[in-house]
Structure 1
Amino acid sequence: MSNRKIKEKGIESLLFACAIVAVVALFLLCIFLFRDGIMLFEKYPFSSFLTETKWFPTAKPVYFGLLPLFLGSLIVTIGAILFSVPLGIAAAIYISEIANPKIAEILKPTTEILAGIPSVVFGFFGLVVLVPYIQKTLDLPTGQTALTGSIMLGIMALPTIISISEDAISSVPKSIKEGALAMGSTHWQTIYKVTVPAALSGISAATMLGIGRAIGETMTVMMVTGNSAVIPGFPAGLFEPVRTMTATIALEMGEVPMGSDHYHALFAVGSVLFITTFIVNIMANYIKQRYRFQL
């Protein structure tokens, strides 16, 4: 066997080993998470956990209601999506198709740098700047609301959405664009009728990654959403304090006795969060494959 084949075989074996390690690590994480989460239901009914409207883990009797935490995460995530997805896709189209190349060379790295800013910095900015502004502008009792959290999460998701969407749009073959222009389409018609549909696979993946960032974010929402474990309405709930699943785990895990019902309840919340993120990833793969198949 030649040295080249030996090197190729070694690289293949290394990549295979990395893949196996990733799968095993994920499997062990699932066991660790679900094992402690399931132990809650030995004493607390599973139906109550899913449908109870109160989260009072230190009261007597205790209430481990997932509903206010899940709906809090949901309303903040929906708000972040409505804010970030249209803005992110529009920015990606501008950078890829409209902006002067010299300007695009500045904008693209700048947006990617924003992705590296720690979440606590975004949270501090939201707490000091955005919270007082929202409170004063909308005349609310407090600016720590679901709306504030949605805006901050939307800002944090923008770099991911812009970067991946721009890559997808730039990857559309020039022959497709030139063919549309040759048929008499204007530049704008080519963008929204040819280029964007051809890049939908990558754009949908970018959107799903942005949603995953919003669902899993902890520090920022903990600092700007008020952390009130109540069931939010819609759209009125956007202007009220809420508590997300991630913030609940971060706030309470360090203070609970290990092995207590409260401890296992937090693992159960983490399990639901894991399943939710897993479903989002499955949906992302489905959408990506669906549009890729059509093209």
Structure 2
Amino acid sequence: MENSKIKEKLLSSNKNSKLEKFGKSLTFLCIALIVFVVGAILVFVAQKGLSTFYSDGVNPLRFLFGTDWSPGNLGPDGKPAVGALPMFTGSLIVTILAALVATPFAIGAGIYMTEISPKYGKKILQPVIELLVGIPSVVYGFIGLTVVVPFIRGIFGGTGLGLLSGVFVLFVMILPTVTSMTVDALKSVPGYYKEASLGLGATRWQTIWRVLLRAAAPGILTAVIFGMARAFGEALAIQMVVGNAVTMPKDLISPASTLTSILTSGIPNATPGIQLNALWSLALLLLIMSLIFNLAMRAIAKKGSLK
């Protein structure tokens, strides 16, 4: 009788061991598939993007710092005119300004939801934030085209299309993301930080300003950079309000362009050759910037709490 029980236990443990091995193998295959897909995308975009330089003879420095974008024409030196600086500058301007505008609102909403009124913040603000996250980009772009652009045109004149309209649209788009991550960063601060500060006689605002925000600073910075990464890669909404003029930005209310707006508007009409290769080079530049944002987020996350 005892031998049969021992045998059953051995068989059951052997069965569990097989299931565990199967689970590990399945998990490894899924991870390997994800890594392969990401690696294949990187290699494919790099191969297509670099063909502008080794096949068409375009100088990489001229591509990065040139201001003339007309891939179908030749420049004074007989080389294709594929300067990406106007689009890169436009993307950088709208991304930075949108992040600067969204950060104070996100921090304020996060403090309200976690420290001032968690109950009403969870009941009112949380559903609003989730709703804003779920709205498609084309809806934001259409609202920007019908509301923001006429508003800016009525105040500053001109067409209303430009970087300033893009900043307002991106501000609304990245605000819920930055706010959600800011709330998570504030909630992750150990409770004894707050208790110790209040126990030493600090007021609530002193505790929030000098203790909680300081301890949550790495998480908040990560949220801001994550929002910047999304803003930098946004395409459809920006294309609808920025004007798509391939010129160096002179001000915020004149038509300009971004990397994504030129990509989305140029690829359908691009012919094989230098025109298509130049657009792939823009895609490669966009991908490199996305990787830089991700590396920055990882570096800040590893840094931990600020001393």
- State whether TM-score is above 0.5: yes
Alignment-derived partner of residue 84 in structure 1: 102
CA contact (8 A) 1:33 1:271 kept: yes
The change in CA–CA distance for 1:89 and 1:16 in structure 2 (over 3 A counts) is: farther
CA contact (8 A) 2:65 2:83 kept: yes
Partner of 1:50: 64
CA contact (8 A) 1:169 1:196 kept: yes
| RMSD (CA atoms) | 1.7
Distance in 1, matches of 2:143 and 2:29, equals 42
- Kindly provide the amino acid, as one letter, of the partner of residue 31 in structure 1: V
Cα offsets for 1:198-252 (capped at 9, x unmatched): 222221221111011100000011000111111114xxx2222110001111001
SS at match of 1:59: strand
Q: Structure 2, unaligned stretches of length 5 or more?
A: 1-12
**Counterpart check, 1:273 vs 2:291:** no
Query: What amino acid maps onto 1:282 in structure 2?
Result: L
163, 167, 180: which one pairs with 1:163?
A: 180
- Kindly state the Cα deviation for residue 129 of structure 1 after the two structures are TM-superposed: 0.5
Letter in 2 for 1:269: L
Partner SS, residue 143 of structure 2: helix
CA contact (8 A) 1:95 1:166 kept: yes
Q: Distance in 2 between matches of 1:9 and 1:98?
A: 49
- In the superposition, relative to structure 1, how do residues 203 and 13 fare at CA in structure 2: closer, same or farther (>3 Å)? farther
1:117 corresponds to 2:135? yes
**What TM-score does the superposition give when structure 2 sets the normalisation length?**
0.89
Among residues 151, 174, 180, which one is paired with 2:197 in the alignment?
Answer: 180
1:289 deviates by 1.4
Cα distance in 2 for partners of 1:6, 1:84 equals: 51
Out of 124, 127, 132, the position equivalent to 2:150 is 132
Length, aligned pairs only: 289
* Aligned residue type for 1:275: I
Q: Is the 8 A contact 2:158 2:253 kept in 1?
A: no
Asked if 1 retains the 8 angstrom alpha-carbon contact of 2:178 and 2:227, the reply is: yes
Deviations 1:36-60 (A, max 9, x none): 1111112222232122111112335
Q: How do residues 98-247 of structure 1 correspond to structure 2 at under 5 angstroms?
A: 98-138=116-156, 140-233=157-250, 237-247=251-261
Q: Which has the larger radius of gyration?
A: 2
2:8 corresponds to:
none
The answer (yes or no) to whether the contact 1:201–1:288 under 8 Å persists in 2 is yes
Equivalent pair of 1:52/1:67 in contact (CA under 8 Å) = yes
Aligned to 1:284: 297
CA distance in 1, matches of 2:234, 2:102: 15
Pairing partner for 2:270 from 249, 252, 256: 256
Cα distance change of structure 1 residues 146 and 17 upon mapping to structure 2, 3 Å threshold = same
Q: Residues 5-16 of structure 1: matches in 2 within 5 Å?
A: 5-16=17-28
Pairwise CA distance, 1:6 = 4.5
SS for the counterpart of 1:63 is: strand
Aligned mates of 1:143, 1:101 — CA distance in 2: 40
The one-letter code matched in structure 2 to 1:107 is L
TM-score by length of 1: 0.92
Mapped pair 1:37 → 2:49? yes
Cα deviation for residue 90 of structure 1 reads 1.4
Instruction: Give, as a single letter, the amino acid of the residue that structure 2 aligns with 1:51.
Output: F
Q: Is the Cα–Cα contact under 8 Å of residues 75 and 238 in structure 1 kept in the other structure?
A: no
- Assess, with a 3 A threshold, how the Cα gap between structure 1 residues 11 and 127 changes in structure 2: closer, same or farther: same
- Structure-1 residue corresponding to 2:5: none
SS of residue matched to 1:229: coil
Q: 1:177 to 1:128 in 2, by over 3 A?
A: same
What's 2:34 paired with? 22
Q: Percent identity?
A: 36
Whole-angstrom distance in 1 between the partners of 2:186 and 2:292: 26
Mapped partners of 2:159, 2:29: distance in 1: 52
- Answer whether contact 1:73 1:215 (CA < 8 A) is retained: yes
Report the alpha carbon displacement of residue 2 of structure 1 after superposing the two structures with TM.
5.0
Structure 1 unaligned blocks of 5 or more: none
